[in-house]
């Protein structure tokens, strides 16, 4: 495989008509070849038209075909071999080990959705049979099933060039649901994106599906994305990225003549509460876990713990001492791109200049003169200062975190009540301590998608029970998750068939239950055929 | 019970501080006593504060307590007896039989949600157990459950003063989920609303729940509703009404610092397609069903069939002749209020004046000089005219419908493709005809919440399989239904508990499964405890 810098428009690779740009290796700051072309408005239109046409067929594709498509995607991504891993490292600065882990996660995720749709559970098939004799009015035969929404636009994230990008969770769950996908690739890893798009295109061919089922468009700026979100045939948007980016897409989608849902995962500060006994018992151990978590991947995770909240005193001091030592030993790390690196440095400068925030430790500075490097930075402040300056609660993307010293438990509770929506909140405590802090725990389950106990938030398991979501501003819609099997629910809608001709019913609703799936028949769950 | 004209603010009945208005009997146009008070901004605030405080307890209330609350609501509504039915008739002009039917439906709906939450299905409880030995990283214990969103504001509809109003589907499903409810009562049936609010207040007391769980506020205009939708503690909105009303609330909710979901059911024109063989075989029978459906309740149903589409020719002419006769025999009927009556008359005048639309039949005019009466009106036009004047596809609230004559099957298909989102679409055909028209049927399942075959759309069954929803502009969010057991999904969100202390887990997620509900444990569905 080679990287062509072309757009994939419904199975055809063609050069973008709106100019080119070059990828950049953030380790060196050097540009990468080949030039990456940019899709024109005409080309965006063409991709949308092909997705719309493909949708009519794709939505009727058997579950087995979609499951095969997802498995083919995983195989084809693996078949890209080292070329993918090397390009990913070159474009992101991630070590090859991380690239390999993320590839494994991405392929597992594709296979998980294949397995999950085969169970038929997400279809929520329901049948209420006719009651022709019922008084005062008969009941007709009513059948309910979840159907795909139609074409979905996916915006890849910069920080997970595989797992939250071209073949990431949004694409996997949308394809699993039977929605064609148009990916707007992230300009921070265009070559990685194209390689994965090549893999998906092959998988679409292998599964013998209409080629409009998948397109991949590139842009360095915002024009392609904006046009996609406004295209009438597009029915939903998946996005992982910044608050500014997510809310801009939400505004565009809401201004359409027919508003469509934007599932934007916009990150959060992922507070960590340290309860006093846990701190007394194991301040160094907790410090080690925390420093490992907030510096992982140069702090470029949406679930990076950016705030630590604890009552001030000797145990917290022991934690600070341990964390300080660990931070000071932490080497500089490569950041994803110049913009992210610059924003991080700017934020560090602003924070250092502002009153009320103290730097307690900095990691090693980079000795490289080239490339985009971060220096780990750990701040402290008082809870009173945080409460007066709530902008400090906002996410900073990069390896920085703030330790919030509370006067007492009541002040810690006040901080908890002020937290806006979070992807995660973490509590470190001893087993007998949580009961005492039940009010705090309860408060956190109101504002978080996931509450982590005695662990750290980094590491988002791909499984049935995961919630990668949470109240605004963590995401645009708290009722959904973007990771885990339930992510598919974002891309389906229910349809009711009343007295529908048997021969035209979707397979999930036919009397003989050809899919063998569980159904709710007159309120009873069963996989038996209807007699 | 007497009607006091007061507001119910967290269990206390107090006079609204922002003036009064009088209900009106639409049959006579006469005002009804007593004066109805209007909530002040301060009073709206108080109701929201009480709902917020109640939410902290209510969200932990056992399912059995919420089920009892819903059943108490049904009992208390029944206990209102004839006073409720008489007031409903006086405020809406509906015959007592209709009032009784709607009361039965409303109480059944409350009981249905009680039964449904007891199954625990809507909780979607999931457990993925820890894999401490897994390589390269262990898996933590992860548990997933749906939790209530928090306080919900419900806007009652004018046309279903019980089933889609104070104790209607929105309130029932929100309370079932564990969300406190604040109802903004409809000024068209304020006395009916208050009586039902009295019943709910008693039920809240009986269930020994915090009184902030339910409030009922009245307003003749928009101030109370606007303030409620913008209140920070409010987490979702349920609305049934006009397109203008629904989109205004959506805009307010989207402008909040934290946007919240508005579930607006805004109605549609509910097209009916008549296939040629069915018309040939039974034009008079279909005409009878159709005229009955579009004139039911003075045509004041969101699922009223407002468009009929068929290929022109002799069979359609037979249908028109039969329908004409039936319409001409149909007496005038009372409309819900002056505004609705005036809008309907204005719309009839505009349509009669406009070119391209012919009146083929009118019902009897009212002989009453007082009150608000409609005259049934049936139009015809050509498909070409409709396609050039797509505003004719918009809903007209009241007993009017348009028959669209298509040149041929292809033109009928063109009309189908132009239809915006619909609550329902209906097809009348013979059993061997549907296969021939599979493309049409397929198109309709893309744009409708419910597809009705050989029936009529009026009559929205309250059951598991119902979808009262559909793409915009029929509703604000095609992924949900406002009728049927799945309506509860609008008011919950998933939360993930990672390594959470056993004693603090929600009952649905405890190892011993005290609720005895089905759960997805490591991908397997079971009601067994976890060992």
Closest CA to A450 of A244, A265, A278, A246: A265
d(CA A34, CA A329): 38
Give the Cβ contact number of residue B33 at 10 Å: 10
- Kindly tell me the sign of the dihedral angle through the C-alpha atoms of A284, B129, A440, A277: negative
Residue A248: which region, alpha, beta or left (left: phi > 0; alpha: psi -120 to 50)? alpha
d(CA A202, CA A494): 31
Closest Cα in chain A to B456 = A498
Task: Report whether B513 contacts B528 (CB < 8 A).
Answer: yes
CATH code linked to domain B18-221: 3.40.605.10
Domain with CATH 3.40.309.10 in chain B: 272-453
Put simply, the answer to whether A465 touches B496 (Cβ < 8 Å) is: yes
| Per-residue exposure over A70-99, b if at least 16 CB sit within 10 Å of its own CB, e if not | bbbbbebbeebeeebbebbbbbbbbeeebb
Closest CA to A405 of A446, A347, A357, A454: A357
Closest CA to A228 of A194, A247, A256: A256
- Mark whether A302 is an active-site residue: yes
* The pLDDT value given to residue B1: 63
Tokens of A382: 């008082």
Closest CA to B307 of B165, B172, B447: B447
**Largest alpha-carbon pair distance within chain A?**
84
Angle at which helices B314-329 and B276-295 cross, to 10°: 20
Q: The domain B272-453 is classified under which CATH number: 2.40.160.50, 2.40.420.20, 3.90.550.10, 3.40.309.10?
A: 3.40.309.10
Put simply, the answer to whether B142 touches A463 (Cβ < 8 Å) is: yes
pLDDT per position as a tens digit, A55-64: 999 999 999 9
| Per-residue exposure over B128-138, b if at least 16 CB sit within 10 Å of its own CB, e if not | beeeeeeeeee
Query: Topology of domain A7-24+32-266+481-489, per CATH?
Result: Aldehyde Dehydrogenase; Chain A, domain 1 (3.40.605)
Residues of B in contact with A52 (CB under 8 A): none
Tokens of A278: 């846990």
Residues of A in contact with B139 (CB under 8 A): 461, 463
Among B102, B253, B498, pick the best mutation site for testing chain A contact (most A Cβ within 10 A): B498
- DSSP 3-state of A12: strand
Query: What number of helices (H) and strands (E) belong to chain B?
Result: 14, 23
Indicate the pTM of the whole model: 0.97
Put simply, the answer to whether A498 touches B453 (Cβ < 8 Å) is: yes
- DSSP 3-state of A239: strand
Give the Cβ contact number of residue A466 at 10 Å: 26
Domain with CATH 3.40.605.10 in chain B: 18-221
* The pLDDT value given to residue B369: 84
Shortest CA gap B257–chain A (Å):
9
Q: Going by DSSP bridges, is the β-strand pair B519-521/A492-498 parallel, antiparallel, or unpaired?
A: unpaired
Residues of A in contact with B461 (CB under 8 A): 128, 139-140, 142
- Mark whether A341 is an active-site residue: no
Task: Report whether B235 contacts B149 (CB < 8 A).
Answer: yes
d(CA B429, CA B82): 43
Question: What count of CB pairs under 8 Å joins A to B?
Answer: 203
d(CA B439, CA B416): 10
Closest Cα in chain A to B426 = A498
Task: Report whether B253 contacts A470 (CB < 8 A).
Answer: no
Task: Report whether B154 contacts B171 (CB < 8 A).
Answer: yes
Put simply, the answer to whether B144 touches A492 (Cβ < 8 Å) is: no
Residues of A in contact with B136 (CB under 8 A): 101
pLDDT along chain A (531 residues), means of 10: 93 97 97 97 98 97 98 98 98 96 97 98 98 94 98 96 97 98 98 98 98 98 98 98 97 97 96 98 98 96 97 98 98 95 95 92 93 96 96 93 98 98 98 96 97 96 97 97 98 98 97 98 97 85
Task: Report whether B470 contacts B450 (CB < 8 A).
Answer: yes
Stated as kind and residue range, the H or E segment containing B43 is: helix B41-58
d(CA B299, CA B373): 12
CB-CB: which of A258, A467, A495 is closest to B496? A467
Shortest CA gap A175–chain B (Å):
17
Ramachandran angles phi, psi of A355, nearest 5°: -85, 155
For tokens 């902290």, what's the residue? B56
Burial label, B260 (beta-carbon count in 10 A; 0-12, 13-18, 19+) = buried
Residues of B in contact with A140 (CB under 8 A): 452, 455, 461
Q: What's the number of CA atoms in the CB half-sphere (13 Å) around residue A391? A: 5
What DSSP assignment string belongs to A44-110? HHHHHHHHHHHHHHHTTS-HHHHHHHHHHHHHHHHHTHHHHHHHHHHHH---HHHHHHHHHHHHHHH
Residues of A in contact with B151 (CB under 8 A): none
Tokens of A498: 């009343």
Q: How many residues does chain A have?
A: 531
* The pLDDT value given to residue B355: 87
Q: What are the Cα distances from residue A235, in Å, to A39, A228, A238, B160, B458?
A: 21, 10, 11, 31, 28
- DSSP 3-state of A126: strand
Tokens of B253: 């909710």
CB-CB: which of A431, A464, A495 is closest to B449? A495
Q: Which residues of chain B have pLDDT under 70?
A: 1
Shortest CA gap B476–chain A (Å):
8
Listed in sequence order, the residues at least 6 apart from A477 whose beta carbon sits closer than 8 Å to its beta carbon are: A261, A263, A469, B261
- Helical residues (DSSP H) of A334-477, grouped into ranges: 338-353, 383-388, 409-418, 438-447
Ramachandran angles phi, psi of A433, nearest 5°: -95, -25
Query: Which letter does DSSP use for residue A365 in this model?
Result: P
* The pLDDT value given to residue A355: 87
* The pLDDT value given to residue A1: 63
Give yes or no for a cis peptide into B136 (omega within 30° of 0).
yes
- DSSP 3-state of A425: strand
Put simply, the answer to whether B479 touches A261 (Cβ < 8 Å) is: yes
Closest CA to A146 of B425, B486, B263: B486
CA-based angle B47:B91:B473, to the nearest 5? 70
């Amino acid at each position: 495989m080679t990287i062509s810098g072309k757009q994939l428009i419904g199975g055809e690779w063609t050069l973008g008509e709106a100019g080119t740009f070059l990828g950049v290796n953030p380790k060196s700051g050097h540009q990468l070849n080949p030039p990456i072309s940019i899709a024109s408005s005409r080309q965006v239109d063409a991709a949308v038209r092909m997705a719309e046409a493909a949708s009519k067929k794709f939505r009727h594709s058997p579950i087995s075909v979609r499951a095969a498509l997802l498995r083919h995607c995983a195989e084809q991504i693996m078949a890209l071999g080292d070329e993918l891993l090397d390009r990913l490292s070159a474009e992101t600065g991630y070590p090859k080990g991380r690239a390999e882990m993320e590839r494994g996660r991405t392929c597992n995720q594709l296979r998980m959705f294949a397995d999950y749709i085969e169970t038929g559970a997400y279809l929520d098939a329901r049948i209420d049979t006719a009651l022709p004799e019922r008084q005062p009015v008969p009941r007709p035969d009513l059948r309910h099933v979840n159907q795909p929404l139609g074409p979905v636009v996916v915006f890849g994230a910069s920080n997970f060039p595989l797992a939250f990008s071209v073949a990431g969770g949004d694409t996997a769950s949308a394809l699993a649901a039977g929605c064609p996908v148009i990916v707007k690739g992230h300009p921070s890893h265009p070559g990685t994106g194209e390689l994965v798009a090549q893999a998906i295109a092959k998988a679409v061919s292998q599964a013998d599906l209409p080629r409009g089922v998948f397109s991949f468009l590139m842009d360095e700026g915002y024009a392609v994305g904006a046009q996609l979100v406004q295209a009438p045939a597009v029915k939903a948007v998946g996005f992982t990225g910044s608050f500014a980016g997510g809310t801009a897409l939400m505004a565009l989608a809401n201004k359409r003549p027919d508003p469509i849902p934007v599932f934007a995962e916009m990150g959060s500060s992922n507070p960590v509460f340290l309860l006093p006994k846990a701190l007394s018992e194991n301040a160094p151990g907790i410090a080690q876990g925390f420093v490992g978590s907030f510096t992982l991947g140069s702090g470029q995770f949406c679930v990076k713990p950016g705030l630590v909240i604890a009552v001030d005193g000797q145990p917290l001091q022991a934690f600070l001492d341990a964390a300080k030592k660990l931070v000071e030993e932490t080497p500089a790390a490569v950041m994803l791109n110049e913009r992210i690196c610059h924003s991080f440095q700017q934020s560090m400068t602003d924070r250092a200049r502002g009153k009320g925030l103290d730097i307690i430790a900095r990691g090693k500075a980079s000795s490289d003169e080239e490339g985009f490097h971060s220096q780990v930075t750990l701040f402290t402040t008082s809870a009173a200062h945080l409460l007066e300056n709530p902008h400090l609660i906002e996410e900073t993307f990069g390896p920085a975190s703030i330790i919030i010293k509370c006067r007492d438990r009541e002040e810690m509770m006040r901080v908890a009540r002020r937290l806006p929506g979070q992807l995660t909140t973490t509590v470190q405590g001893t087993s007998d301590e949580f009961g005492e802090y039940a009010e705090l725990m309860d408060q956190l389950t109101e504002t978080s998608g996931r509450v982590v106990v005695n662990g750290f938030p980094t590491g988002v398991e791909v499984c049935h029970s995961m919630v990668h979501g949470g109240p605004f501003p963590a995401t645009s819609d708290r009722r959904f998750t973007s990771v885990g099997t339930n992510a598919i629910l974002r891309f389906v809608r229910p349809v009711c068939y009343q007295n529908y001709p048997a021969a035209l019913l979707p397979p999930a609703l036919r009397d003989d239950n050809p899919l063998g799936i569980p159904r709710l028949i007159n309120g009873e769950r069963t996989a038996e055929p209807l007699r």
